[in-house]
Structure 1
Amino acid sequence: MTKLKAVVASVAVAGALAAVSTPTMARETINIVGSSTVYPFATVVAERFGRNTDFSTPKLESTGSGGGLKLFCDGVGTDTPDITNASRRMKPSEFERCNSNGVKDIVEVKIGSDGIVLASSQKAENLDISLKQIYLALAKEVPDPKGGDKLVANPYKNWSEIDSSLPNKPIRVMGPPPTSGTRDAFNELAMEGGCKEIDMIKAMEKDAMEQACQSIREDGAFVEAGENDNLIVQKLNSDPGAYGIFGYSFLEENAGTLQAATINGKEPTMENISSDAYPVARSLWFYVKKAHVGVVPGIAEYVGEFTSEGTWGDNGYLADVGLIPLERSARMEAAKNAKAMKTMTGDELK
């Protein structure tokens, strides 16, 4: 895992040097932004690509999925990113914004799966928790524990107040900000998944239900830790009373010091995530601006490297750093479409 960190550092340095040396009138280096979860995988691909081809090592920036898509959709031109990584699928509103800004030919590539974990230091009491209990711990408003059909400001201070099987310790969870695809996926899969188990909330109108399900408490029990998942890892190791939300790949990278909660009776293993048995599993993506292919050197070749069997296959080098590969037939179809630079119509997102 130390090797992965070294690779990340080397790519950051190479990207910085390339940015300094590239003329303002043209750009020789691929510019990639987006998801902090996809960042380590894209970094490994970029480092190999720079080492094994005549192209410059791509420059990567971890901006979060939402932040990356915003930059990507700002327009066409070498002052905008060529590729954006995402730990959730592009939203219809983002596709429309891209189109309105002239970004009309977008290539979508699904690269594999990942799970979102609720992790802690191995010195902490590990959680065996349900989606409903996660919702009750982290929601801004919850059903009144005293009864009735109303939501109240979350009164739970300790995990054990939700259920006696949980630790008798303060609820302290660190997680990503709203710009993060991990936060989007956690809200949809964990928070909304647990929320919908409550009959009173299921009976609400759609908009009111989404508001109730996806609003995170702001009283200090949940702390936004920025887009840097490594920062959450460091804080967990120094604070055994805290829990953190991030992608499975970061758990794998820090398996010697961290542990992950069992959620709805399922542990976050590669098998459970790839089969969707683990309830907080999601897909990973990247998006290519086709108008930049042939303008910025190496984009098609980088996509070809990423979508080769030796990279993202069952025995590819990305599996060694925690990527959970797509099923083989899905990989083959995705690789074919990526090679052809097949563009989106927008119907895929409906």
Structure 2
Amino acid sequence: MTSEAPVRGLDNVVVASTRLSAIDGTAGRLIYAGYAIHDLAEQASFEEVAYLLWYGELPSAEQLGAFRGRLAAERALSAAELALVRGVPAGGHGMDAMRTLISGLGQLDSEADALDSAAVEQIGVRVLAKAPTLIAAWDRARRGLEPVAPEQSLGHAANFLYMLHGEAPAPEAARAFDTYLVLLAEHGLNASTFAARVAIGAGADVYCALVAAIGTLKGLLHGGANQKAMETFLAIGAPEQAASYIDAMLARHERLMGVGHRIYKVEDPRVRHLRRCVKTMAGLNGDAERWQAIADAVGGVVATHPHFTKRQLNPNVEFYSAPLLYSLGLPLDLFTAAFALSRTVGWMGHIREQLADNRLIRPKSDYVGPSVHPFTQLAERN
């Protein structure tokens, strides 16, 4: 028992120092390693951002080429890894598949237990490169299709779409998905990142830490919100139905997913770029235009409805992620897996920071149970 009041949800409790990102929820600012998210979303590739977060600076052309080469060299699946894909049940959720595939990848790695900096860095490269191949191959397998081998000439984002659909994406679609990956790569000590740091801090291997993060990200209050947001847009069906549908949801005391954020009290700074990407996709096909219109209509209701304005609830990163990923042809249950493909960069950055100055994460709890009393023999209990 303690006299300290517990801090629900660890609000404003600082438990780590990081060089990876900074968030100002009041001003709506996000910084990756000294760079504003707006500059990175508009000018940098995902590979550049991954390099920045892992090595502390943007790469030169030579460094970027070498890094892309390392990723490309790790993309292809071995016979054992293909067997792993085919052994994952087809009927589960995409995040269940991803959790199992990354765990299996660890079992196939003879150096999985190594925690020295060089080994951990190599595992990060391996997982970042192979995870898109694994999840695309699994999705094709469950649809009765053969996996598509990675195309070494394509960038990280374009290659995933190629392996998923079996044809090279339009440049605009590839860039839109690349921007999505940039925006989701890192976001402070969120729930899944904290889970990864707890696991690696306990001395578990890197794959265990990533699986802990993946399991946490699936939660509807975290990464799972993007799928639920799209399910809401699908149910609304048309922009003119947005207001009445939301009123009915609120009357049933249901939560509108993709709205509100634990940190941001203004619009999530990533939203503007996702909105732009959705608009780009709308220019490529009429179906995407429909989902943009519905998302904009829902956003308009959120901006004026007292339920949301009084609580400072605004569209978050999941809100426009939903129509973007849907327009890119991802199945609904791969939305959160796509999030994980990006956030692997942030998770690995935090894993490396935790290992560099590790101490077992062991917060206290406040005991509120009964006081100590005598033990009652079994025969005497009612």
Q: TM > 0.5 between the two?
A: no
Richer in strand (by share): 1
TM-score normalised to structure 1 length: 0.28
Richer in helix (by share): 2
TM-score normalised to structure 2 length: 0.27
Higher Cα Rg, which structure: 2
